Amino acid sequence: MAIPKAELHIHIEGTLEPELAFHLADRNGITLPHTDVHALRDAYSFTDLQSFLNLYYELMDVLRTEADFHDLAEAYLTRAAAQGVRHAEIFFDPQAHTGRGVSLDTVINGLASALDTSLERHNISTSLILCFLRDRPATEAMDTLMAARPHLERISAVGLDSAEVGNPPEKFTEVFAAAAELGLRRVAHAGEEGPASYIWQALNLLGAERIDHGIRCLEDPELVSHLAATQVPLTVCPFSNVRLRAVATLADHPLPALMEAGLLVTVNSDDPSYFGGYVHDNYRGLQEHLGLDTEQLRTLARNSFTASFLPPERRRALL
């Protein structure tokens, strides 16, 4: 039985398994540029973040209708339940859909129709985190935030993702301030491929309450001390870091160093369909390749609830 945990860094579009991609392509009359499921899986060999993002955005073309977004989320929740997930804060990338003619209502209503029954069907509480694509203009992010206003009761936070290097957090200062005004929490990918200075910017300019990835904080001792003192959580994704070559092998992953430095570290799957495993598979990988013991895994699971945006009653029930 997988240890109960929260998942705080999961891109719903990154849970699209090849089998479901082909099924949705058929349903929508789309021909994928891959001969079959095996050929598609064979394409999952990445050299860096951008090489992954190219395929990630290409495959999203199969997501067209509310039913498609429903089926995507339902498939994730089914797998997550089997991995011990009891709470999930789920990223989605509206601009990746509206930019190809799929409306925001279609995306959110489709996802919500699965999330609405998640507690009864899977014993998983959920919320959505609306991510801005950092390689698109800040004005487009602001338009997306404004368009999302009718859906805010389903959205707990805003996030920042996509190609990091060359797209520093400072570009989104105004958008994150507007999100805070609307009562949304704030998180941001920083220090995945980008430098430690991007983590400082996410904290100081965006008001980020969690840093997604953040592993490059280790290059700045002052930043490590700051993260330890403030207990701003990191949502670390070990399989992702290896598959996107931010880290050479799992045995070289800096997660133990982050824990030893006193940081509030959590373990997450990022884009599990593409990176070889869901969240509990990541926990197991850490056990096997880094020798983490049961007590350390329990600490990581406890951290995942502590770092969540859960209301206090549900957090107490889960801790």
Task: Indicate whether 192 belongs to the interface with ligand ADE (CB under 6 A).
Answer: yes
Catalytic residue selected from 192, 209, 219, 222 = 192
Give the length of the chain: 319
**174 close to 181: Cβ distance less than 8 angstroms:** no
Q: At how many degrees (to 10) do helices 279-290 and 294-306 cross? A: 140
Whose Cβ is closer to ligand ADE: residue 84's or residue 159's?
Answer: 159
Min separation Cβ 241 and ligand ADE, Å = 9
295 is catalytic: no
* Helix, coil or strand: residue 154: helix
- Return the range that interacts with Zn ion (CB under 5 A); candidates 152-160, 267-275, 280-288, 308-316: 267-275
Per CB under 6 A, contacts with ligand ADE among 54-73 are 56
**204 close to 225: Cβ distance less than 8 angstroms:** no
**302 close to 283: Cβ distance less than 8 angstroms:** no
Report the residue from 127, 156, 162, 303 that binds ligand ADE according to the rule CB under 6 A: 162
Which backbone phi and psi does 89 adopt, to 5 degrees?
Answer: -110, 110
Site string for ligand ADE, 255-284 (x = CB under 6 A): ---------------xx-------------
Task: Indicate whether 14 belongs to the interface with ligand ADE (CB under 6 A).
Answer: yes
Of 225, 223, 214, residue with least CA distance to 247: 214
Whose Cβ is closer to Zn ion: residue 32's or residue 90's?
Answer: 90
Within 10 Å of residue 100's Cβ, how many Cβ atoms? 12
For Zn ion, the binding residues (CB under 5 A) are 270
**Which residues are at the interface with ligand ADE (CB under 6 A)?**
11, 14, 49, 56, 161-162, 189, 192, 240, 270-271
What residue numbers does the annotated binding site cover?
Answer: 9, 11, 189, 270-271
Catalytically active residues, by annotation? 192
